[in-house]
Amino acid sequence: MNEDTPPTCPFNSPRPASEGWHDAKLDFSKSMSYGDYLQLDTLLAAQKPLSGEHDEMLFIIQHHTSELWMKLALHELRAALLCVRNDELDPAFKMLSRVKRIFEQIVTGWNVLATLTPSDYTLMRGSLGSSSGFQSHQYREIEFRLGNKNEQMLKPHAHRPELHDALATVLAEPSLYDEAVRLLARRGFEIDAARLERDWTGPTVYDATVEAAWLAVYREPRRYWDLYQLAEDLVDIEDRFRQWRFRHVTTVERIIGFKTGTGGTSGATYLRKMLDVVLFPELWQLRTQL
């Protein structure tokens, strides 16, 4: 070797340009491609900024991706609820674990939207009209599935009967936590009969017999291991859901301060009130008693 030639890494020797992909399928004129399978033409054509401002694309994609993650979260929550109802906890654990990861993804997504400055948002806000994340039917179903129910939240969907009726059905059904409480009763714990047949359209309300049952589970986790794991999964989900709410309100505050929201709510003030909502009260309260 010429002494003027710099040494090279032996693992970086030149390779044929085609190496690694020369057997890959390149002709998709008669078969399904990646874009076909994912319907990318439809997906990528859904971003239609109205303001002409550069940052509106960020705003739209942030909310599109959140809705896609929520669609998957609901897919898992619906299935997990049925598994708990049928005493099939092992598959439910995997589904609930996935929901936790999805919520983490949504929380992380706020970091991207937080790059939108107040000046940026002001330029495009008028294009939103009265649209608001408050009107997301998927977010509302997630809340209903987790037990935060409010019949008034059906009203923003009255103009879409199919969405209104679907949400009304979820409102009237037991939540995931209601099914967990019913499971406790089936396992022999003494749960107040009124709690087991309550009006499912109302929010979850603290019940002393439910706390006593969960407390027994936590005092003997080895004896009730699957119930103990279910309880901790529920706490994990609420923990991440709270983080989602908190990240939402802080992002709103840094972009619009305390202005009224586009959908007519009090904006950050409303979102801060939502931070006080507790989904699974007995699971948090029992920790004081242990």
- Residue 30 resides in a domain: no
* Contact between 68 and 166 (Cβ < 8 Å): no
For residue 11, being part of any structural domain is answered with no
83 torsion bin: left (phi>0), alpha (psi -120 to 50), beta (else): alpha
Is 61 marked as binding a ligand?
A: yes
Per-residue pLDDT, 221: 98
255 pLDDT band, cuts 50/70/90, is confident
Residues shown for the chain? 290
Element (H, E) at 229: helix 225-256
Mean pLDDT in the chain? 91
pLDDT band of residue 256 (cuts 50, 70, 90) is: confident
Residue 279 near residue 245, CB atoms below 8 Å = no
Mean pLDDT over 267-282 rounds to 83
**Does residue 243 have a known ligand-binding role?**
no
The answer to whether residue 109 is domain-embedded is yes
Cα torsion 113, 68, 131, 111 to 10°: value is -10
Say whether pLDDT at 13 is over 70.
no
Based on the structure, what is the number of domains in the chain?
A: 1
Query: Residue 18 falls within a domain, yes or no?
Result: no
pLDDT at 3: 60
The answer to whether 260 and 267 are in contact (CB under 8 A) is: yes
Q: Is 62 annotated as a binding residue?
A: yes
Has residue 42 been placed in a domain?
no
Q: In the chain, pLDDT over 90 holds for what percent of residues?
A: 74
Q: What is the pLDDT of residue 107?
A: 93
Q: Which of 13-17, 58-62, 119-123 is least confident?
A: 13-17
Kindly state whether residue 262 falls inside one of the protein's structural domains: yes
Question: Do residues 174 and 182 make contact, with C-beta atoms less than 8 angstroms apart?
Answer: yes
Residues 6+ apart with CB under 8 A from 83: 89, 91, 92, 95
Nearest to 227, CA basis, from 39, 87, 58: 87
Q: Does 206 belong to an annotated binding site? A: no
Q: Name the pLDDT band for 286 (thresholds 50, 70, 90).
A: very high
Q: In sequence order, which residues have a C-beta less than 8 Å from that of residue 89 and are 6 or more positions away?
A: 83, 226, 229, 230
Check whether 125 is labelled as a binding-site residue.
yes
pLDDT of residue 133: 83
Residue 202 lies in a domain: yes
* CA distance readout (Å), 178 to 18, 139, 193, 210: 58, 19, 13, 10
Select the more confidently predicted residue: 21 or 127: 127
Report whether 144 belongs to an annotated binding site. no
Overall average pLDDT of the 56-82 stretch: 97
213: domain range?
54-126+138-171+194-289
Split at pLDDT 50, 70, 90, the class of 274 is confident
Share of the chain above pLDDT 70, in %: 90
- 262 is known to lie in a ligand binding site: yes
Q: Does residue 66 lie within any of the structural domains? A: yes
For residue 14, pLDDT over 70 is answered with no
Token representation of residue 168: 């009304």
Longest dimension (CA), the chain: 89
Q: Mean of the pLDDT values across residues 21-42?
A: 91
Rounded Cα–Cα distance for residues 139 and 103 (Å): 12
**pLDDT of 2 over the 70 cut:** no
Amino acid at 7: P
Read off the amino acid at residue 129.
Answer: G
Q: Higher-confidence residue: 101 or 25?
A: 101
Task: Please report the pLDDT score of residue 261 as a whole number.
Answer: 66
User: What CATH number has the domain bearing residue 107?
Assistant: 1.20.58.480
